[in-house]
Amino acid sequence: MEKLEGQLCSFCGKKTLTLMEDSQDIPFFGKTFLFGMQCSTCKFSKSDIEAAEKKDPCKITFMIEEEKDMKIRVVKSSEGCISFPSLRLKVESGPSSEGYVSNIEGVLDRFVKIIEAQKESSDDDGEKKSAKNLLKKIRKIKYGDVATKMVIEDMSGNSAIISEKAKLEKLKGKKK
């Protein structure tokens, strides 16, 4: 991993930003660059990924059916939008969206963290209850007790679910 410390942070103006760059060879996806930046003063952080090879806009659909699906690798760029339609969960792509390489369990854990934080900060009993139910459902998905569909749409094409079971569609659209 290449590291560049002491860079100027554009958020707090201090020279405490660390830039990181790494590359990884991901089977069935190809060489992928991972970028990260992190400021030790203001805690700003951002990460993204990019495939070395140019990719087409894509939509990937995957049916999570069993516990071992949790280990399936997921590549998500900052332009990738992940959704679980049956759970009504969605992460939009945007400036604050992160790119990462993880697995399905890791993706679900990211959602769990968000739901738990919302549950903690809410005063509404109904909201708390639906968050609790959602967390229970996610737990069942992890154990393979409930099947659910996961979808990633990425106009940059830099996202993937590495499995033979994943369905890949090419999307038409402008390439950035």
Interface positions with Zn ion (CB under 5 A): 9, 11-12, 39, 41-42, 44
How many C-beta atoms lie closer than 10 Å to residue 152's C-beta?
25
Query: To the nearest whole angstrom, how small is the minimum distance from the Cβ of residue 31 to Zn ion?
Result: 31
Please give the C-alpha separations between residue 176 and each of 33, 79, 154, 158, in angstroms, as whole numbers: 18, 10, 11, 12
Please give the C-alpha separations between residue 151 and each of 33, 84, 85, 128, 141, in angstroms, as whole numbers: 23, 6, 8, 26, 15
Pairing state between β 89-91 and 160-162: unpaired
Place of tokens 């968000």: 114
3 vs 170, which CB is nearer to Zn ion? Answer: 3
Query: To the nearest whole angstrom, how small is the minimum distance from the Cβ of residue 13 to Zn ion?
Result: 7
Query: To the nearest whole angstrom, how small is the minimum distance from the Cβ of residue 104 to Zn ion?
Result: 33
Query: To the nearest whole angstrom, how small is the minimum distance from the Cβ of residue 117 to Zn ion?
Result: 23
SS3 126: helix
24 vs 41, which CB is nearer to Zn ion? Answer: 41
40 vs 122, which CB is nearer to Zn ion? Answer: 40
35 vs 44, which CB is nearer to Zn ion? Answer: 44
* Type of residue at 1: M
